[in-house]
Structure 1
Amino acid sequence: AAMTAALPSPYTLEHAQVFIAQTHDQYAAGQTVSLGVHIQATGELTGIVSLRLSMSHHSGHLGYWTGTRYQNQGYACEAAKGLLKHGFTDMNLNRIAGQCFSDNPASARVLEKCGLSYEGCTREAFLKNGVFKNMLLFSLLRSEYASSEATS
C-alpha cells in the first residue's frame, strides 16, 4: 500500500471492507472493472487489477497491486495484459493510461512490459503519508495495441 496511490498506508481490514463495497458499487455503475488476480492452480489471491472508466472519452485508467510475496513473478503483467485486451476489444476504449510513483521502478516495468509508453512525470503531484511524490505517466492507444497484437 505504501507504493500505491489508490490505497491508504497502512492498509487495514476496515480499508479492505470499504474497498470491496465500493468496488461492487462502482462496477454496477459502470465506473470501474476490478478483478482479483489468482494463481490458477491454487486459487490463491495474489493481487488486484482494475480499469477506472471514462466511457464518454472512451478511456480507462489501469491500476493494480500485488501482494509482497507475489511480486516480481509476472502476475501483475499477465493480469494487466488481459484487462488491456478486454478494454480495447470488448469495451471499445481508445486510450488506457497508467501511472506509478517515480520511486517504484517495478511498477513502471509492468506498464512498459504491457506496452504502455512513457509520457512524462508530474512532479510532486501526489501527497502520500506526508511526502510529495512524483508520478510517472504512461499510456497505450487502441491503434498501438492493435498494431502490437498483429505482429505478435
Structure 2
Amino acid sequence: MQYNDIQQTLTTERLCLRLFNESDAATVTELCNNYNIYKSTLTLPYPYTLDCALSWIQHHRQNFEKEKHYEFAICDKATGTLYGAIALSCDHRYDHGEIAYWIGEAYWGDGYATEASQAMLHFAFHVKKFHRVYGRHFASNPASGKVLQKIGMTQEGVFIDHVKKEGQYKNLIYYGIVKGK
C-alpha cells in the first residue's frame, strides 16, 4: 500500500483510493440508489438522489484537511471506475476511529471492500498513528463481517436492538483491532 500525501490517495495492487470530486456525484447516485445497499448501511438515505451525493461529497476535503474524517472513493487503479467508498472516522482523544464502507452491488464479491479496508487500516495505523480501529455491521449483512475478519479484526460484541431501521430494531455486530496485536 502506498500513500501520496500531496494527492491524498492510497494505492493497492488493483485500487486507487482518492478523495471524491463533485464530478463523482452522478456515479455515486447511480450506485447508492439501490435498496440492497440502503438496507445494509446505517445512514444512507433511500431513494438516493443527486442532491444526496452532492451534499455528501461537499465536505469531504475539508473534513480530510481538518483530520475529522477520511472519506475515499474506491476506484479501479487502471480504469478509474468508481466501485464504492471507504471511510475512517477520527477520535483524536482516544487515538482510534471507525472504518466503514459500501460497494456498488454490481461489484460485490470481487474483494474490493477487503482490499480497500486493508489499505485503510494501514493508513490508520502507519500514517495517522491510530492505536485502535473498529467496525460494525448489521447482523443481516454477514458479508461485511467477513471483510472485517479478513483484515484481522476480532468480533468484540453484539449490540442487541441497537438501531432502528425501517421500523425494526437491528443488532449491530462490533469488531476491532489494536495496532500491533
Q: Same fold (TM over 0.5)?
A: yes
The equivalent position to 1:104 in structure 2, one of 141, 144, 167, is: 141
Q: What is the total number of aligned residue pairs between the two structures?
A: 144
Q: Distance in 2 between matches of 1:33 and 1:47?
A: 14
Q: Which residue of 2 is the match for residue 42 of structure 1?
A: 79
Please identify runs of 4+ aligned residues in structure 1 that moved more than 6 A: none
Q: Which residue of 2 is the match for residue 119 of structure 1?
A: 156
What RMSD in Å do the two structures reach over aligned CA positions?
1.1
- TM-score normalised over the length of structure 1: 0.90
Indicate whether 1:51 and 2:88 are aligned.
yes
Indicate whether 1:71 and 2:108 are aligned.
yes
Indicate how the Cα distance of structure 1 residues 12 and 112 shifts in structure 2: closer, same or farther if over 3 A, else same: same
Q: Distance in 2 between matches of 1:89 and 1:23?
A: 21
**Structure 1 unmatched runs, 5+:** 145-152
Q: Contact 1:123–1:135 (CA<8 Å) still a contact in 2?
A: yes
Q: Distance in 2 between matches of 1:127 and 1:10?
A: 18
Deviations 1:7-54 (A, max 9, x none): 123322221111101323322321101111011221100000110000
The equivalent position to 1:62 in structure 2, one of 85, 92, 99, is: 99
**Structure 2 unmatched runs, 5+:** 1-37
Q: Which residue of 1 is the match for residue 175 of structure 2?
A: 138
The equivalent position to 1:128 in structure 2, one of 165, 168, 171, is: 165
Structure 1 residue matching 2:113: 3-state secondary structure: helix
Structure 2 residue matching 1:132: 3-state secondary structure: strand
